[in-house]
Amino acid sequence: MPSSLKIELVPCSKDNYAYLLHDEDTGTVGVVDPSEAAPVIEALSRKNWNLTYILNTHHHDDHIGGNAELKERYGAKVIGSAVDKDRIPGIDILLKDSDKWMFAGHEVRVLDTPGHTQGHISFYFPASATIFTGDLIYSLSCGTLSEGTPEQMLSSLQKIVSLPDDTNIYCGRENTAGNLKFALSVEPKNETLQSYATRVAHLRSQGLPSIPTTVKVEKACNPFLRTSSKDIRKSLSIPDSATEAEALRLDSAEFYREKAKELGFNSAITMVEDSVRGGDSHLKTCVVLGGRGFIGRSLVSRLLRLGNWTVRVADSGHTLHLDESDSVLEDALSSGRASYHCVDVRDKPQIVKATEGSYVVFYMGATDLPSHDYFDCYRVIVQGTRNVISACRESGVRKLIYNSSADVVFDGSQPIRDGDESLRRPLKFQSMLTDFKAQAESLIKFANSCDGLLTCALRSSIVFGPGDTEFVPFVVNLAKSGYAKFITGSGENMSDFTYSENVSHAHICAAEALDSQMEFVAGKEFFITNLKPVRFWDFVSHIVEGLGYPRPSIKLPVRLVLFVFSLLKWTHEKEGLGSNYDTAHQYALLASSTRTFNCNAAKKHLGYTPVVTLEDGIASTLQWFSRDLEKSDDTIIQSTADQLLGCGKVADILLWRNEKKTFVSFLFLNLFYYWFFFSGNTFTSSAAQLLFIFAVALYGVAFVPSKIFGFQVKKIPPWRFEISESAVRDLSRDIVVVWNQGVRGFKSLSTGGDWIKFFKIAGSLYLLKLIVSRSLAAFLFTVMSFSFTAFFIYEQYELELYHLARIFVECLTVIKRMVIPVSDASSKPMFM
């Protein structure tokens, strides 16, 4: 009985296919892997169909690019792998290996087929003898290993081979004609392959698709499924002892090497995008310039974890210093899969030596630059980029990917909302370093296609993560100094942030896309974010609160903050001192301006989607910085208020270290205050009554039973009322010392030996006389209230008060110099 399921192929993008599924009995319609919405909508409109389901084999944008628009237009449910639940937006139905799902009465078996990606699945319709394989297998080839291993790919391909021979394979791309060249070159005597080649050539000449293929055809013709063939092994020099996974890796390596030659790659390039992992002799070689910087370390780690790269780490340090976070690099260095090269980008021969024979160079840009030495910054950033480009051309590097920044389109004068690559750069930058970075990006773009070099630039927005050396440390330092309590502006401005691992992933995506999407990627720039804009101050609050600091709460006008920074910068320049007020000024602009970006170009052409969510990125960052702060905070620094109060019990009470003790102390002091000043008795009678009450209470406690209604009554032991002989001697000695000091002081005053002390004592006595004559009760109440509030408030805002005082003093110094110019350069200042 023929199946009621009908399949219609829909060409999308450059060479992708989406597939419409239509059940004739129920009218149910689904679409598999819509890379874009427009062709699918056109096909549905032509048929007058309504879309019910969207089936995704994996998360790459060229398979889910049309999801959002189709779901919004038709209300269709999105179906995909549970592994990709955070990578396929709007997913509704999560499936895993061996799940059975019903499409309008048609059983759909889900096959877990990792290799191209970790979450790749295939949809098998047994009654219709049909399987949709996405980018797992193509006719006469297989997909690249973006995330998986050769072993995973081999296992997934074997699942396809085990299906009945008449099973139709619907793959994600139309590239059969190109794959034929390689297949025929390694197995020219395969008659089935020759016959298939004739059929494909006829179909393509008529403008018809070569898809679907069948399991039978692929088993007979696909070199990636025939690695056990002696002819193929001999043609590709694959040892007889090689495992099937190893043979698959070598087969794929040779295939992509031939592809590279077809595209006119430099013949000196020996390492290509194999898309596979395995033996060291066939790994791709890359150079990470700036590999010991923040993002560079993350990229090196990710490349090594992928397993199919030999990584040359290049940086300006003369030696490589490893820490506990470099375990992956340490293992790679010992196994020979990584090496370290000391490179100064101002020295072109050093760059040539490090990049020679490599396939791709990831240029992270210079780090730890002296921001006040603009000439040296120019030599490193701009001239260094020229040297890198020239060295890559000289050493035959195929790809150069530059780590730029979204700052190159931002000057703080206007908000950026959903900005894309069409944004123009500002005529003038607030920071000279950003200006240099923009110049370097332009050089990278203009170098595209020179001597076969392909280039692109990635503009990431506010990068953060473990090991961050810029944004998060700046925020932490603000929190330590107390400035993080202040919000610059309204606090409602939105910003895009990017986790460092996602930036690394974007670089690797760009390296691959410079082959597969060359015409759309080469010579272009792409914005990279976490695809989740948030309020800038909400993000900062997560960071500072997670590290134990109070969240920002006090709002300051933007103009006031910028004025203060400008004034401080001018003051330091006048004094000839270096400062980081350029960084502070840039931070103030970021903190007060909306700045969000559209990453559709990166999603479409690079295949970029974040591999780490914003929430997970923040959690990892906080975990790393918490450990770092614990290491650095070995000693506890006492506050000034604590030191003023003697760092003892009095300090603990007045600084509210133990709220229960402080409250009880405050309550008893208020009771004493009321007893002595508002009970209607004289001071002497009030003291006598209090002592009487105390004596009666002590006497009565002695007669209280040890248990009352079953509750234990804790009694005061007699020894608590004893005073030791040593305590009496110490007290007596202290009284004698104080008495003798008083006598000596009195003699000194009577003879006129210390007039300063005389005036101090006379002034104090006169002040005491005024207080007693006016209102002692009011004075004591003021002192008590002040003690329990002022010290606590001062400790909470000690750093803010200190820095505000410092700013005030610096401003007074500037005003003083403007009003009273120094007439004699050799004269000394009055105040030190």
Show the tokens assigned to 338.
Answer: 């990584």
What's the rounded Cα separation, in Å, for the pair 328 and 309? 13
Residue 48 lies inside a defined structural domain of this protein: yes
* Amino acid found at 683: F
Model pLDDT, residue 134: 94
Residue 761 near residue 767, CB atoms below 8 Å:
no
Q: What is the pLDDT of residues 604-625, one digit of tens each?
A: 999 899 989 999 999 999 999 8
Model pLDDT, residue 818: 64
Q: Whose structure tokens read 């001062």?
A: 794
Q: How many CA atoms lie within 13 A of 674 on its CB side?
A: 5
**Residues of the chain below pLDDT 50:** 1, 256-257, 259-281, 577, 634-636, 822-832
Write the CATH number for 164: 3.60.15.10
Model pLDDT, residue 272: 32
Residue 433 near residue 380, CB atoms below 8 Å:
no
Model pLDDT, residue 270: 33
User: What is the signed CA dihedral for 62, 68, 74, 75, rounded to 10 degrees?
Assistant: 120
Residue 114 lies inside a defined structural domain of this protein: yes
* Amino acid found at 527: F
How many residues in the chain?
832
What's the rounded Cα separation, in Å, for the pair 9 and 513? 25
Residue 208 lies inside a defined structural domain of this protein: yes
* 359: nearest Cα among 299, 285, 300, 254: 285
What's the rounded Cα separation, in Å, for the pair 431 and 582? 6
212 cis-preceded (ω within 30 degrees of 0): yes
Residue 241 lies inside a defined structural domain of this protein: yes
What's the rounded Cα separation, in Å, for the pair 567 and 813? 12
Model pLDDT, residue 265: 35
Residue 143 lies inside a defined structural domain of this protein: yes
Domain count, the chain: 1
What's the rounded Cα separation, in Å, for the pair 250 and 242? 10
Residue 522 lies inside a defined structural domain of this protein: no
* 587: nearest Cα among 491, 499, 488, 498: 488
What's the rounded Cα separation, in Å, for the pair 651 and 638? 11
Alpha-carbon distances, residue 214 vs 127, 140, 385, 537, 595 (angstroms)? 15, 11, 50, 56, 50
Per the structure, the complete domain to which residue 59 belongs is given by 5-259
* Amino acid found at 407: D
Model pLDDT, residue 274: 39
The radius of gyration of the chain's CA atoms, rounded to the nearest angstrom, is 38
Residue 767 lies inside a defined structural domain of this protein: no
Q: Whose structure tokens read 């300006």?
A: 316
Model pLDDT, residue 621: 93
User: What is the signed CA dihedral for 287, 291, 295, 299, rounded to 10 degrees?
Assistant: 50
Model pLDDT, residue 317: 85
pTM of the full structure: 0.52
Residue 576 lies inside a defined structural domain of this protein: no
* 108: nearest Cα among 66, 71, 57: 57
Coil, strand or helix at 553: coil
What's the rounded Cα separation, in Å, for the pair 466 and 294? 8
